[in-house]
Amino acid sequence: MLLAMSRIDRRLEELGIVLPVLAAPTASYIRACAAGRLVFAAGHDPIDAQGVLQRGVIGADVTTEAARRHAELTGLQLLAALRQHLDDLDRVTRVVKLFGLLRTAPGFAGHERVMDGCSDLIERVFGPAGRHARTAGGVFSLYGGMTIEIEAVIEVA
């Protein structure tokens, strides 16, 4: 018996998006946990299709456009973690909030343009339910020298 493809899986296919296979967490945490109808996704990293962590300092050795792509890669990691946690992304009723930490050079002021990489991906996938509140801040250091880390709060049915 063939199972029908979910609405979000069809949308991912239409967009040509293949979610990554997640590596096991390297520290003592879980990728996502629920409290009532809210799912809190841990901070995720910019890992490309070859499994390479994107490193550098935005505004120094990483351009705003490259960092925007890193934010999109991080969004793919978030989506994969949510699918793993929920089994079915159709359970998402609302993306409530994204919170991003960006490893930036002093004086960098393009945080919103970088975070749009993740935000735009989320909205393309979930449509109006993907519109969310957002916070982004620059920091001096992130684990492994990565450029960006993003976490999410999601409402589910």
User: What phi-psi label fits residue 107: left (phi over 0), alpha (psi between -120 and 50 degrees) or beta?
Assistant: left
pLDDT higher than threshold 80 for residue 4: no
Using CA atoms, how far apart are residues 33 and 6, in angstroms rounded to an integer? 22
Q: Which domains does the chain have, with CATH numbers?
A: 7-21+30-156 (3.30.1330.40)
Residues with Cβ within 8 Å of 32's Cβ and at least 6 positions away in sequence, in order, are 39, 40, 41, 42, 81, 82, 84, 85
User: What Cα–Cα distance (Å) separates residue 13 from each residue in 39, 45, 51, 124?
Assistant: 24, 23, 21, 12
| pLDDT tops 70 at residue 62 | yes
Instruction: Tell me how far CA of residue 130 lies from CA of 2, 91, 102, in angstroms.
Output: 29, 13, 21
CB atoms closer than 10 angstroms to residue 114 = 29
Stated pTM of the model: 0.94
- Average pLDDT (47-57) is 95
* Per-residue confidence (pLDDT) for residue 2, from 0 to 100: 54
Mean pLDDT, residues 100-118: 97
